[in-house]
């Protein structure tokens, strides 16, 4: 018997399902953050997003980092998932909550919910597909448009194991990162090359910036320049520009 759903084109039905799942994940993620913030043994929780065209290997990068797994026949992500990974930095427990979603154009209506609250990002392209590299500027613009603050960002050239199929040189990736003041690294989720370094670099930089901001706020408060309860901004525009030179040229490739 025909139903109302049978009259809806399949791509629209998938689109509606994706929007629902994304908002549900965003809601549950908020609950998860609130719960974890109450844990006494946790000091910091950072939201990090994975962005880039479809099939560049975002999900496998996350699987390799979080679970040391790789799925050679993985399909494009439908909806949103996130994994949490613990790190110890300077005696503090840091949890990275890493979000992964589809890069396909038809699912990009949920970007504001996906980016909300993010303080770090990995922008991923496939070194064997130049088109994915040429999309990076668009992804960076989207990140800037929808994120709540300046985001610590690493440009990731994935699938470095495909040397014979390479269409984007390491020099090109590094030059683009330098132009935008980003960190740069080439990875291989298949070979487990530089995957941990890609994520850990972002987390450590966020922690470093936050630590400096906390120290500055404490100094100002001690001098009577900062009232109780004043919000500490993770990274101002001026700070991003100042840090640009230190980020440029940072490169790690296979």
How do 80-89 and 92-101 pair as beta strands? antiparallel
Residue 209: which pLDDT band, with cuts at 50, 70 and 90?
Answer: very high
Residue 213: which pLDDT band, with cuts at 50, 70 and 90?
Answer: confident
Question: How many separate domains does the chain show?
Answer: 1
Q: According to the model, what pLDDT value does residue 16 have?
A: 59
CATH classification of the domain holding 115: 3.40.50.300
Q: Please give the model's pTM, rounded to 2 decimal places.
A: 0.72
| DSSP single-letter state for residue 28 | H
Q: Quote helix, strand, coil % in the chain, to nearest 5.
A: 50, 20, 30
**Domain range spanning residue 196?**
4-252
154-178: average pLDDT: 98
């Amino acid at each position: 018997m025909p139903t109302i759903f049978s009259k809806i084109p399949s791509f629209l039905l998938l689109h509606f399902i994706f929007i629902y799942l994304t908002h549900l994940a965003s809601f549950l993620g908020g609950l998860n953050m609130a719960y974890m913030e109450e844990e006494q043994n946790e000091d910091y929780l950072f939201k990090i997003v994975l962005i880039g065209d479809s099939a560049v290997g975002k999900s496998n990068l996350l699987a390799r980092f979080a679970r040391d797994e790789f799925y050679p026949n993985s399909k494009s992500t439908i909806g949103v998932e996130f994994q949490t990974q613990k790190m110890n930095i300077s005696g503090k427990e840091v949890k990275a909550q890493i979000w992964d979603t589809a890069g396909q154009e038809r699912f990009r209506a949920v970007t504001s919910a996906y980016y909300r609250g993010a303080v770090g990002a990995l922008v991923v392209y496939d070194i064997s597909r130049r088109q994915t590299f040429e999309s990076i500027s668009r992804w960076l613009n989207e990140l800037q448009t929808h994120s709540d603050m300046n985001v610590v960002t690493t440009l990731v050239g994935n699938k470095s194991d495909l040397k014979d199929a390479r269409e984007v040189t390491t020099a090109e990736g590094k030059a683009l990162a330098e132009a935008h003041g980003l960190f740069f690294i080439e990875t291989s989720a298949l070979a487990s090359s530089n995957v941990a370094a890609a994520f850990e670099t972002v987390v450590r930089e966020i922690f470093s910036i936050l630590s400096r901001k906390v120290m500055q706020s404490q100094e100002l408060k001690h001098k009577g320049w900062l009232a109780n309860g004043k919000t500490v901004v993770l990274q101002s525009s001026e700070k991003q520009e100042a840090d640009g030179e230190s980020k440029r040229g940072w490169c790690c490739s296979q």
